[in-house]
Amino acid sequence: MSPQFWLWVGFAGMSVGAALILFIGKRRTPAEEADTIIHGLVPIIAACSYFAMATGQGSILLPAGPDAGTATRAFYFARYIDWSFTTPLLLLGLANTAMHSGMRRRAVVGGMIGSDLIMIVTALVFGLSQVAWLKWTWFAISCGAFLAVYYGIFVQLREENAHERDDTRADFLRNAVFLSVIWLAYPVVLLFGDDGLGLLGPALGLGIIAVLDLVAKVVYGLMATVQTAKRVERDLAEGKAAPVRPHLAAAE
């Protein structure tokens, strides 16, 4: 299968996924409304990125390597723009799950998002770099920032999540592990793909990332949206949450 095939699959999958999330997502409380908007925006942004890459507007040609002569490789810069918006949104959604009863420690969330952006920007420079020692230095810095994001998730957010009820703690742990396992595959693909060692072909590298993106943005978004709906139903039943608009909540 060609690289173009995977790019159009990514565009179609993100478009359908966004529609599904926005269709099933409810807006009965501020928390549920925020969750629906966050997880609906993520695949919309990704769909735009995939459309740009599929039409040739989201990539540039770079030398295949310092000794490659006239050989070139496609560098898909649009994916880094995508990740700069979508991964902070996913982290914000995860933080909202961790602190379902009320957002606390905003500085921690800001720190995670800041580390995430450092990770993405340095990965972008890694992909653009042609000098070997600079390329791998940027890759190491990106991995270090990635570890900081994991620390925020599994240490700082989990500390706050420990104060929540059982179903919220279970949802947060499930979501954190799910996202973390998927995200862990990205640096591996970048390492062995055309931006790194070049051991994967262009189509295979794009295909793997397209599948990872669909799982992290659409499958995860649907799962998180359904979980939020269940938590909100319990909140409303126990009188622990007020509807955004009482007449709309009653209609739903």
pLDDT in tens, 46-61: 999 999 999 999 999 9
In the chain, where are the structural domains located? Answer: 3-251
Q: What CATH class does 3-251 carry?
A: mainly alpha
What is the rounded average pLDDT of the residues 98-125? 92
Instruction: Yes or no: say if 119 and 146 are a contact pair by the CB < 8 Å rule.
Output: yes
Pairing mode, strands 60-63 and 72-75: antiparallel
- Percent of the chain, pLDDT > 70? 93
DSSP state at residue 197:
T
User: Which of 13, 79, 81 shows the shortest CA–CA distance to 221?
Assistant: 13
Whole-number pLDDT of residue 171 = 93
Measured over all CA atoms, what is the biggest interatomic distance in the chain, rounded to whole angstroms? 69
What is the rounded CA–CA span in Å between residue 166 and residue 14?
A: 32
Residue 37: exposure state from Cβ atoms within 10 A (0-12, 13-18, ≥19): middle
